[in-house]
Structure formats: structure tokens, C-alpha cells
Structure 1
Amino acid sequence: MNLSDATQLLRAEALTRYDIYRWIHKALRARMCRVLVAVGGIDVSDGPATARALDQLDALLAVCRGHLQHENDFVHAALEAAQPGSSADAADEHVDHETHIAALAAASAALRREPAADGALRLYHALALFVSENLVHMHMEETEHNAVLWRHCTDAQIQAVEQRLMASLPPAELADTLPWMSLGLNATERAQLLGGLQQAVPAPVFETMLDSAMAPLTEPQRTALARALGRAPVPGLVMC
């Protein structure tokens, strides 16, 4: 599928059909870009700052590993049931991504052991390539894979796949993803996400989730979200 075809597909169906990829991919893009900037800013003469950047990178790599497995186990299974062979190319790319994740993890560990400016630059370039590959890969999933799902499945069936995936996640993984998803979503999507959580979980749990979702937002974004949820605006600004 060329770029023109993909763009037409997005215009025609992306806003009317359920998109299993949209919110999690927005979270991943936000996190990847933030971590790429952090790694690009590494100055190995500042040990604590270097360690913080590498901690962010290692956390991102763990998230990417988990995301690959979740897609393999749930989304690819749905694609194969709908149209055999439709996930094959993506599955091959997932294998390549796993190789790149392992190489980045090794480079991160090496830089921790022996901080060096040339090692930091090589790590940054390798991460930039990994992020760029993932951006292209996610676009393919959002267009080609969604086209298969939308052709063969109802929105309710797609949502059922997502619900099974979500039910398989440990609470710590959900908590880790929420602020990045909040950061990546637009105001309407953010209100839908938090509004759904408000209805689905006990009030004390929701308060913790709301604090986490608010943390990376600007003051206007926090105010808009509070209003959408029927709450008083929360003062202050916290950036992750």
C-alpha cells in the first residue's frame, strides 16, 4: 500500500471504525520521542543525568518488548483468524525489532559500564533508527492491519480482542502506560479514556490513575481534562 492509498484509508474509515492501535501507538510515539531526546542529550561527564536517561531507555525497551508480545498473541491472532497470512510481514518485522531491542539494551549496559562520548553518540544514532523503523511499522499496522480487521470484524469483535489483551496485563504495566497515553492523546481522546476509567474502577483507584494521567500535561490540558470529567481544575504543573 502506497502513502496515497494509506491516507485515503485513514480519511475514509479511521474516524468511524474502532481503531485498536490508535491510543497505544500514540502512547508509544510520545514515549519514543521523549526518550530519543533524552538519549540525544546525554553528557557522559554528568553521571546521574546519564543514568537517568539510560533508565528511561531501558524502560522504553521493556515496554517495546511487551508490546510486540501483546500484538503477536492477541492482534496477530485476530488478523490470522480474519485473513490468513495478513500478519506475516509484521511478524517478520517484530523479529527484527526484537533483535534491535537486544542490541540497544546491550549498548545501554555498555555505556553504563564505560561512559564515553562516542558510545553515547552511537547509542543515540541506533535509537533514532529504531524509532524511525517503528514509526513506519506502526503506520503500516494502522492502515493495512486495520483494513483487514475492519473488513472482516465488527467493532464489537475488535473491542473484544482489546479487552482480552488488557485483561492479560499486570497492573504495574497499565500504570506505567497511562501517563504516556495521556500525554499522546488529544483532549477528546484523553477525556474518553479517563471518563471510561472513572466508570470502570473504584473511586480510590481512579484518583490514583487521574493523578498519573494529569502528571505529564500542561496546565491548560489539565484544566480541560478536569472540566471534561466534571471536576474542579487542579492547580500546578508536573512534567514527566
Structure 2
Amino acid sequence: MTSTDLLALSAARRWDIYGPVHKGLRRAHGAMAARLGSADYAADLRPLLADLRAHLEIAGQHLAHEEDHIHAALAARAPDAVATLQDQHEHHRARFAALQAAIARVEHGAAADRPGLGRVLYLEFSAFVAEDLLHMLHEETTTWPLLCALFSDEELMTIEQAIVASLSPDETIATMRMMLPAMNPEERTGLLTGMKAGAPPQAYAAVIEHAARPTLPRAEFAELERLGLAA
């Protein structure tokens, strides 16, 4: 897929099933890598390691949702296209196991060993991020164009809506906290406009109060207020 082809799909405003959530993951990966790199491993690490575990849980859930919905749909129309994606996901899961072991070593290591153990954890996470960035690039430049060729926008929207419907309330808030600050204003407005129209009022209010308000800069949240999207 060439840049020209991708531009054509974007110009046609084809349904972007990967872009918004991948923006959130990229931003969250970078923030976590920065925290791990600047951490004082002689200090209390419980908040950092708890947040890292939560981050890895979201990343793992993202893989599962893609497999259950996107990969399942793709396999029905282009079975050969799924194998590479599945291999990359299994490699991610092996990396998650290595990261969990590295976290445990930091938690239980002697104080004198923690700086070295922390560096290993940081490098292990950096390796995961590097691999995931390439994986998401593959999905957006190879898999997405294939999906656009095989499925209508309405079908892609139906797949995405099935993913959204499968999320628990806690997953929904965690995902929106990750996505909303990573989106540009047009994307954010479109997402929240559709959500406000289709979601139960209580669920939408929870997204605003627990995801949008805590994560968006004041000026960006004020724009949601101006548009009538903050309530």
C-alpha cells in the first residue's frame, strides 16, 4: 500500500477502525515509557507498577477485541491475511509474560538491585513498544486498506460497534481516558457526538466525568462545553 493509496482512502473518508484507538495506545505507550525511564527505583514504586500492570491489561484486551471481532470477520473473507496478525499478537503475549516477570523482580528485589532491575524493566517495555508501533503500522497501512476493499463502511462500523458493546464499563472508561487526549479536535467531536446520540445518558455522563474531564486540557474541555458535548 503506497502513500498515495492511503491518502485516497483518507480522502474518501473510509471508516478508520484502527486509527483512534491506535493513537491512544501510542500516546499511552510513550507516557509509560517516559515514567519508567525517569523513575526513582529506590522510592515507592507501587503506584508506577500498578499503572504499568493496568496499561498492559488494556493492551492485552485490545489484542483480544481485535481477534474476536476484526480477525474473525477478516478470516471469513481473506483467511490468509490473518496469520501474520495472529503471529504478531502471540509475540506480544510472550512479551507481556516477560514484562510481568520483570515487574515481579523489581517488586521483590533487594533495594541495592532495584536500579538495575528497573533498567531491565524499562528496556523490556521499550522493546514491546517498538514492536507494537510496527504492528500498529502494519495494521493501518496493510490490514486497514484490505478491510476497506473487503467491507463497506457500514460493515466496518458494525464490527467496531460490536467491539464497543463488548467492553465492560471499566474498560470503556479506561479506553476513553487513553483515546480522548490523543485525538485531534475533529475526531474527538465526531466520537463524542455519536456517543451522545447513541449511548444511554448515564453512560455518556460517566465518559465525560471520568475520562474527558480528567484527561483533557482546560481549553479543549471548554470547547466540548461550547459544543454542548460536556454534559
Cross-structure match for 1:56 = 51
Letter in 1 for 2:39: I
Question: How many corresponding residue pairs?
Answer: 226
2:29 matched to 1:38? no
Where does structure 1 differ by over 4 angstroms across 4 or more consecutive aligned residues?
A: none
Letter in 1 for 2:22: H
| Structure 1 unmatched runs, 5+ | 233-240
SS in 1 for 2:79: coil
Cross-structure match for 2:10 = 14
**In the alignment, is the contact (CA less than 8 A) between 1:20 and 1:158 conserved in 2?**
yes
Higher relative contact order (CA 8 A, sep 6+): 2
2:150 matched to 1:149? no
Determine the C-alpha separation between the residues in 1 that align with 2:148 and 2:203: 34
SS in 2 for 1:44: coil
TM-score norm. by structure 1 comes to 0.89
Cross-structure match for 2:108 = 113
Determine the C-alpha separation between the residues in 1 that align with 2:204 and 2:229: 14
Report deviation, 1:37: 1.0
RMSD of aligned residue pairs (Cα, Å): 1.6
- Select 1:168's aligned residue among 162, 166, 169: 166
1:176-198, Cα deviation, whole Å (9 max, x unpaired): 11111111111111111122222
Letter in 2 for 1:33: G
Report deviation, 1:142: 0.8
2:220 matched to 1:221? yes
SS in 1 for 2:81: coil
1:127-149, Cα deviation, whole Å (9 max, x unpaired): 11110110111011011111111
Determine the C-alpha separation between the residues in 2 that align with 1:89 and 1:206: 36
1:189-217, Cα deviation, whole Å (9 max, x unpaired): 11111222222233333222112212111
Identity among equivalent positions (%) equals 32
Letter in 1 for 2:30: C
**In the alignment, is the contact (CA less than 8 A) between 1:82 and 1:149 conserved in 2?**
no
Determine the C-alpha separation between the residues in 1 that align with 2:91 and 2:200: 41
Determine the C-alpha separation between the residues in 2 that align with 1:163 and 1:206: 15
Distance 1:100 1:163, change over 3 A: same
Q: Summarize the alignment of residues 117-132 of structure 1 with structure 2, pairs less than 5 Å apart.
A: 117-132=115-130
Determine the C-alpha separation between the residues in 1 that align with 2:91 and 2:167: 24
Determine the C-alpha separation between the residues in 1 that align with 2:118 and 2:89: 25
**In the alignment, is the contact (CA less than 8 A) between 2:212 and 2:221 conserved in 1?**
no
SS in 2 for 1:19: coil
Report deviation, 1:64: 1.3
TM-score norm. by structure 2 comes to 0.92
- Select 1:199's aligned residue among 197, 200, 216: 197
Letter in 1 for 2:188: R
